[in-house]
Amino acid sequence: MKSFVIIGLGRFGTAIASELSALGHEVLAVDVDEERVQQVADHVTHAVTGDGRNIEVLRALGVRNFDCVVVAMGSDVGNSALITLNLKELGVKEVICKAQSHVHSRVLEKIGADRVVFPEYEMGAKLAQGLSSSNVLNFIELSEDYGILELSAPQSWQGKSLRELDVRNRHHVNVIAIRKNGELNVAPSPDLPLESGDQVVALGRYEDINLLHEVK
C-alpha cells in the first residue's frame, strides 16, 4: 500500500482519489471547497478543507510523509506552480502535476515537478488510436515518443510464430505480451504461434506502432 495526497478535487482529482482508494491505498484529499471535500469524504481515507497554496497548511497536513502528491488543479498556472514549489520545499518525494498546455508543463518541470500529465490530451490520443482502426483494442501513452498498442492479431500473422514474423526487425516494435482466450502471456516464447482471436500487445515509437494498423 502506498500513500497519496490529492490536491484539487475537480473531476480529475476526484477520479484519481476515489480510484486510488478503491485500489487499497491511503489517500488524503484536499480542496479549498468544502462541498467538494464532503462529496469525496466517504470514498477516501481522509478528506480535508485546506488551501494548498499555503505552505503552512501543507506542513500541518504532513505532506512530506506521503509517497506521492498529485496537484490536480491545472486551470491556473500560478496556483499549481505555487503549490508545486511549496511541496518541493517541504521535501515531498514525488510530485505529479496536471497541466493544460506545453508551456504550463515546462513551467512545472522547471520548478521541480517529477511528472506532468495532460489528461485531456492523453485521453484524446487514446480515443483517436481506437477510432483509427477497428482492430485496435487499447492504447497506452508512455511518453512523448513511445506507447503500447493492443490489437487483434492481423490475419497474415495467424498460424505463424513471432520468430517467423520477425516483428522487431520488420516493424521496429517489440511484442511484449499475447492475450489468448482472455489470459495474458507476458514475454511470450518467440516460437508461440498466433491464432485467430489472439491479441498482440506491442511497444514502440508512435510512428512504428501506428503502422501496425496497416498490417492485414
Q: What are phi and psi of 107, to 5 degrees?
A: -60, -50
Per-residue confidence (pLDDT) for residue 76, from 0 to 100: 79
Please name the amino acid found at residue 129: Q
The whole-angstrom separation of Cα 67 and Cα 27 is 10
Q: What are phi and psi of 180, to 5 degrees?
A: -120, 125
Cα 164 to its chain centre, rounded Å, is 34
Per-residue confidence (pLDDT) for residue 129, from 0 to 100: 59
Please name the amino acid found at residue 55: I
Per-residue confidence (pLDDT) for residue 9, from 0 to 100: 94
Q: Helices marked H in 47-196 — which ranges?
A: 55-61, 77-89, 102-110, 119-132, 162-165, 167-171
pTM score above 0.85: no
Per-residue confidence (pLDDT) for residue 206, from 0 to 100: 79
Least confident of 79-93, 117-131, 158-172: 117-131
Cβ neighbours of 180 (radius 10 Å): 15
Q: Which residue has the higher pLDDT, 25 or 182?
A: 25
Cell of 175: 511484442
Are 140 and 147 in contact by the 8 Å Cβ rule? The answer is yes
Cell of 98: 496536471
Cell of 194: 498466433
Nearest to 210 by CA among 135, 160, 155, 122: 135
- Percentage of the chain modeled with pLDDT above 70: 91
**Does 137 have pLDDT greater than 70?**
no
Length of the chain (residues)? 216
Cα 65 to its chain centre, rounded Å, is 23
pLDDT digits (tens, 9 = 90+) for 17-49: 999 999 899 999 999 999 999 999 999 999 999
* Mean pLDDT value across residues 189-207: 88
* Mean pLDDT value across residues 9-22: 91
